[in-house]
Each structure stands twice: as structure tokens, then as C-alpha cells.
Amino acid sequence: MQLTGQPFLILTIILVPVSIAVAMLLWGRVRGPKPLQALVRLVMLLFCQATAVMMIFVMVNNANLIYGSWGDLLGDDGHVQSVPTVPTAGSAAGTGQNGAAGQPGNDAKPAAAKALQQFKGVNDPLVPKDVQTTDLKGQVSGVDGEVNVWLPPQYNDPAYKNTKFPVVELFPGFPGSSKTWFGSLNVSEQLKPLMQSGQITPFILVSPRTQLISTTVDTGCANVPGKVNADTWLSTDVPQMILDNFRADPSPNSWAVAGYSAGAHCADRMALLHPDRYRAAISLSGYSDPGALSSSLTAKDSKLRQTANPLYILEHAPTPPKVALFQSGDKGDGYEDGQALATAAKAPTTVQVQLTTGPHTPSTWRPMVPSVFKWLSGIIPAPKPS
């Protein structure tokens, strides 16, 4: 039975009154010594509480898609198959980790073959049926994981049969499911009519797995020697797979990243570190210092904590990167970090900061989706039919 969806939720709802009814029925029938009676009754009370807590957890999880599967909940760490050595991010001035613009993985090592994939439906009632998924084995990073893809309505229009489309990679928070943008944030359902009407650029939307080690270790989307090549997975393997399987525009001027919370930190970091791959980044309630998240792997090492900070990356870039950043957040929840980036930015880097109010939950970010993608459409225009 799936963790998400109605069947398991209904089961947890049923268990609550059943556990109470069983406790009431058996309360006076407990036999044995007084201490044993007290222990049995305590267990019954704890079971009632456990069923109530489980029901609330499932309701919250279904609303926010914090955990997309039992493997995510239980901390499945089977996504890092190896940790090959790759060049340090930023090792080549002005090129970031990937080398030549529009060629993912160029300076790590060439892909052995095209990453041609089989796609299927996500099979989750909380995710729209037009979202497709595949399990990708990263040839450069040593990371395996699912990648969810949604194609804009123009993609299958005969008028666009030879057109290559821009791409946005979507990063969830931590812990967070790769399906959250399509489920809790309803990104494709909100943007589809706006793309059809021409108000928003028809982007290919891509949401790869970012929880790679466990529910207690956040990679910060960074390469951590001996631990994980999360950066290479997101900036090299995933883009190359998209280019190999879809009519995606390889130009960095047609690629962007977006994230919320820990995913917003990733989006800023990836865009600033890889201006050869990404033209823009959207940050919803993000942060710059990896230490803002107690589970951050990069924060455990003082040097990594410094170099993984988007503000540090911007301030120490050999030349100001040609990227546009959209920063949003409440006071004490991303707003000040966005202002610091805006203060440090020099042309051609641009930073737009928006003050928001509301809790650190999808209920705040979901209504922002149309407006932030309209901003992004001003940076990456719609492709022409060809």
C-alpha cells in the first residue's frame, strides 16, 4: 500500500475509532496482578495515541508530500552507487563544473552513451497523470534516482515539431519528495493554462530526486568527497538525460532552476556555480548558509560550509556570472539572505527580492508559482514554432 494517496489515509482514519472502541471494550476485562493490569491499559492508551498521531502524519504528508514513498520515510540510502572523483566545482574560471556551455559533464568525463530512458506514469493519486517518471543511473555522478518530467502543451503541437524547449529543474525542500512540485505545489496544473494562453514560456519541467542519502542527511546539492556527487547528478547527469530524450534547448540561456526551502538554497547555489548551465534561479524562502539546516552535510565541514554558500560563490566568482536570481521570503525566513545577494551582485548578475508573509509551507509557495514563472518568462522567452 502506498504511503501517499487515499487508501492508506482511509485506513489510518478507520484505525483511530477502532483503537478507542477496542480499548473501551477491553478496559474492564483486563485480568491479572495490579501492575500487569496497569501496564496493559497503558499499552492500550499508547496504541490509541499512536493511531491518532499516524493519521495526522499521513494527512500532513499527503498535503505537503514530505515523503513520497516508504523508502523515503524509512531513509533508503540506496541512491549513491559510487562516488567517482570529478573536478571541483568552479575549477575552470567562468565555466563552473561542466566546461563548455550547453555540454553537461564536459570536463568530468564524456558520457559512454546516450542516456535513453523508458518513461512511465508516476502512479501517485496526488500527482497529475501527465507527469512521467524514469529511474536514471547517473553515468558521471554515481547517483541513481527517479526523475519526473512534465512536457508543456506546445511540445506535441505539430507546429512545434522541430522546436527545442527551455527547461526548469525543480528542487524540493528537505526532507522532500521529487513529486512535491507536481503534487503539493500543483506547478503543472497552474502553469498549463498560462502556457496555452501565451502568458508563460512553455518550459519542460524536471524534478529529480535530491534526497540521496537518508532522511537525516541533506546533501545541499553539493559534491562531498567520499560521500556523494549530488551537484554532478543535478548539473550533469540529469540535464544530459533530458537532452538525450526530449527536444530540449541545450543553450544555458534556456535553462533555469527553482526551489523552496532547502531546494531554494540548492537553486541559488547551482545557478551561481554553473552559469554555463543555468540562466536563472528562483528561491522561495531559501537560505545561503548551509548551517541553517541542522541535517546539512556541507555544514559539517567548515571549508565546505563556506564554499557551498551562494553568497560566498557570488562574491568570489572570477567574473560576475550572467544569471538572474529571484529571491523571496519573510523576514527571518529568506528575505535577508536575498537582500545580501542583491547587495553583492554586479552586472550582469541581477537579483530581484520580494518580501512575503506566511508560514514556511506549500500554502505560502503554491500561490506564488504563476507570478514567479511570469518573472522567469521575462528572462527566458518562449521558443518560436519551427
What is the predicted pLDDT for the residue at 263?
Answer: 97
What is the predicted pLDDT for the residue at 5?
Answer: 64
DSSP assignment string, 175-225: S--TTTTTTTS-HHHHHHHHHHTTSS--PEEEEE----SBTTBB-TT-EET
What is the predicted pLDDT for the residue at 99?
Answer: 35
Q: Is the peptide bond before 35 cis (omega within 30 degrees of 0)?
A: no
pLDDT tens-place string over residues 327-373: 999 999 999 999 999 999 999 999 999 999 999 999 999 999 999 99
What is the predicted pLDDT for the residue at 307?
Answer: 94
C-alpha separations of 305 from 197, 226, 267, 269, 281 in Å: 44, 16, 16, 12, 21
Name the fold adopted by 82-379.
Answer: Rossmann fold (3.40.50)
Cell (9 digits) for 191: 502553469
Question: Which of 110, 133, 111 lies closest to 121, judged by CA?
Answer: 133
What are the helix and strand counts (H, E) for the chain? 12, 11
Rounded to whole angstroms, the Cα distance separating 211 from 177 reads 8
- Kindly state the DSSP code that residue 297 receives in the 8-state scheme: S
Amino acid (1-letter code) at residue 9: L
Q: Hey, where are the domains in the chain?
A: 6-62, 82-379
What is the predicted pLDDT for the residue at 65?
Answer: 67
Where do we find the cell 535577508? 336
Q: pLDDT below 70 — which residues of the chain?
A: 1-6, 61-66, 68-77, 87-113
| pTM of this structure | 0.82
C-alpha separations of 104 from 95, 140, 324, 326 in Å: 11, 10, 20, 24
What is the predicted pLDDT for the residue at 91?
Answer: 36
Where do we find the cell 518562449? 382
